[in-house]
Structure 1
Amino acid sequence: MHRKALKESLESCSAAVKLETKKHCLLSRTSFPIPVPTLRKLVRAAGLGCIAEISIGVVPPVPEYTVARLVHRGYAVHGINHEGHGKSSGSKGYLSSFGDVVRDCSDNFKSVCEKQENRLKKRFLYGFSMRGTVVLQLHRKDPLYWDGAVLLAPMCKIRSNPYMYRGNLALQTGRELLSVSLDTEKNLHEVSLPFLVLHGTDDVVADPSGSRLLHERASSRDKTLKLYPGMWHVLMGERPEDVERVFADVISWLEDRVGVSHDDVVLHIDVSHDLEDASSSTVTLTQDLVGIL
């Protein structure tokens, strides 16, 4: 489906809510599955997933398009704009504490997971770039709570890049991002949940060797690494045919773990980011049965 049509259909099945924390007012957004003509059956998602997205400067249409595609596959996504990002309060682009980001995501996602209609659903986390770091920190915070994770170009290891933007990043934000990246790399052996990690071999932002290390060191019994020769950092922003490959791998992995066939799935996606500023948020994926994630 054309991106414009996907965006319009996504806007028609989304709801935004403001959440009050001790420090900030955060925007939460949920997108619900909608009828898809190509699906033989329409079911509700049977699992719940969370996507952590805090990267600064991601091309807005990319996460928006990804969410729309998942919705059209029957998934529901839930997430929040982090402090200082999107329509949440706080100084723009400023993170006072990465721990606060993880805590906000954990509290918000668990409140969704514990709703009566979601208690029997499986729970999956999804993260791109630095959002992958949020996902791994959420797992470390509560190792047995999540059923799996999908990580696209996770920043387990930062690559030196002379062409990377070096503008006015808040010192505290940079300090928090560097600290959590080093901590994540040091503790990869603690990762024990099922996960799929996908990475382009020509990524000049997040070092692909970090994903190799994650796959090698993680104690998970169910772990899959997919490397895409010639692809860069934003896998969902590659050429259409390559995006199809990546998206197919993600869907196949998810469906294998919820035990459903392609034609029997509807994705519920709980989106944490606002579509007008999708660069910094955290998302939860959920599924039911008259649906699935």
Structure 2
Amino acid sequence: MAESREHTFTGTKGLNTVREWPHERPRYLAVLVHGYGEHIGRYEYVADRLVRHGAAVYGVDHMGHGRSEGDRVLVEDFEDVVTDVHSAEEHARAEHPGAPVVLIGHSMGGMIAARHAQRYGPRLAALVLSGPVIGVWEIVPTLLAYPEPPDTPIDPATLSRDLSVGAAYADDPLVWHGPFRRATLEAFATTLDTITKTGSLGTLPTLWVHGADDELVPLSGTRIGIEAIRGTTLTERIYAGARHEAFNETNKDEVLDDVTSFIDHTLQSIASGRSTGGSRH
């Protein structure tokens, strides 16, 4: 696996930990955005593939997640999380001026990445959404119907057909295994609505990947969100039999091949735009 290092920065609600997988002369920068209750350390395999593809890779543990400060899984406003991700992106740009940036978000991280793209899209080269929580996510209104959200932990078997993924998730001390916080659910509801109302990503090249058998973030609810934000250059890949974590599935290399091919196509388009005086980053 590619070597990594960590640093911290003062985020909107305290110290955030960023992991970097460096590349001396990157073709592009990849900013990874992790999902609910997990941490960026679960993306070692993805980062390794991207480094070998020519990227310098960065990812922040969100507030209340992983090694970052904050009450566990408490997010009162996801706009703050978007701002923290943007800070990590700006750090990456400062280390590699002029390199195009690809934002890659999974699950809750897909929601954060989509909102980030709505706020900062003109500076991005491309967006990749994996099983994103956008559109309709029934778990939010269901749990908000209770005065206190019940403790209904994620079934690790729903993550991947590779059951070792779920076993590692269950044993990971940096993963949150308790109930949702009500304030976090309310923040989800607000951000889902904001994303839908803000609408199209315009010309930003976007790749959507999703497992057809995703029980945690069902395809049908996400498709409503995709239709709300889709711009002029959306590519989708739906994988038969795959569960929630496409990047950890039994066909993860196929998924990551699709991601890197999409990035290659985008970088070629950027290079062509430069030759005619245009650029996205």
TM category (shorter chain) comes to 0.7 to 0.9
Cα distance change, pair 230–188 in 1 and its aligned pair in 2 (3 A):
farther
Cα distance change, pair 159–102 in 1 and its aligned pair in 2 (3 A):
closer
Q: Is the 8 A contact 1:188 1:214 kept in 2?
A: no
- The structure carrying a bigger helix percent of its residues is 2
1:185 aligns with 2:189: no
Q: Is the 8 A contact 1:158 1:205 kept in 2?
A: no
Distance in structure 2 (CA, Å) of the matches to 1:223 and 1:179: 25
Distance in structure 2 (CA, Å) of the matches to 1:150 and 1:227: 13
* Correspondence for 1:205: 216
Q: Mind listing any 5+ residue stretches in structure 1 that lack a counterpart?
A: 1-5, 34-42, 261-293
1:195-254 CA deviation, whole Å, 9 max, x = no partner? 000111111121213443455444522210111122111112221xx1121111111111
Selected match of 1:251 from 239, 242, 260: 260
1:134 aligns with 2:105: no
Distance in structure 1 (CA, Å) of the matches to 2:84 and 2:248: 28
SS at the partner of 2:200? helix
Identity within the alignment, %: 24
Cα distance change, pair 217–192 in 1 and its aligned pair in 2 (3 A):
farther
Cα distance change, pair 67–22 in 1 and its aligned pair in 2 (3 A):
closer
Distance in structure 1 (CA, Å) of the matches to 2:69 and 2:34: 16
SS at the partner of 1:254? helix
Cα distance change, pair 48–68 in 1 and its aligned pair in 2 (3 A):
closer
Deviation at 1:121, TM superposition (A): 1.2
Cα distance change, pair 23–55 in 1 and its aligned pair in 2 (3 A):
closer
Aligned-CA RMSD value: 2.7
Q: Is the 8 A contact 2:107 2:130 kept in 1?
A: yes
* Correspondence for 1:270: none
Cα distance change, pair 28–172 in 1 and its aligned pair in 2 (3 A):
same
SS at the partner of 1:119? coil
1:73 aligns with 2:82: no
Distance in structure 1 (CA, Å) of the matches to 2:21 and 2:212: 32
Cα distance change, pair 131–87 in 1 and its aligned pair in 2 (3 A):
same
1:112-149 CA deviation, whole Å, 9 max, x = no partner? 21x2x522211110001110111111111123111111
TM-score of the two chains, using structure 2 as the length reference: 0.74
Q: Mind listing any 5+ residue stretches in structure 2 that lack a counterpart?
A: 143-150, 155-177, 270-281
* Correspondence for 1:147: 125
Distance in structure 2 (CA, Å) of the matches to 1:217 and 1:99: 19
Cα distance change, pair 179–215 in 1 and its aligned pair in 2 (3 A):
closer
Q: Is the 8 A contact 2:135 2:226 kept in 1?
A: no
1:233 aligns with 2:221: no
Distance in structure 1 (CA, Å) of the matches to 2:21 and 2:219: 31
Q: Is the 8 A contact 2:4 2:19 kept in 1?
A: yes
Distance in structure 2 (CA, Å) of the matches to 1:57 and 1:19: 19
Distance in structure 2 (CA, Å) of the matches to 1:210 and 1:223: 17
Output aligned runs, 1:35-114, within 5 Å. Answer: 44-57=25-38, 62-113=42-93
Deviation at 1:153, TM superposition (A): 0.8
Cα distance change, pair 105–25 in 1 and its aligned pair in 2 (3 A):
same
**4+ aligned runs moved over 6 Å, structure 1:** 161-164
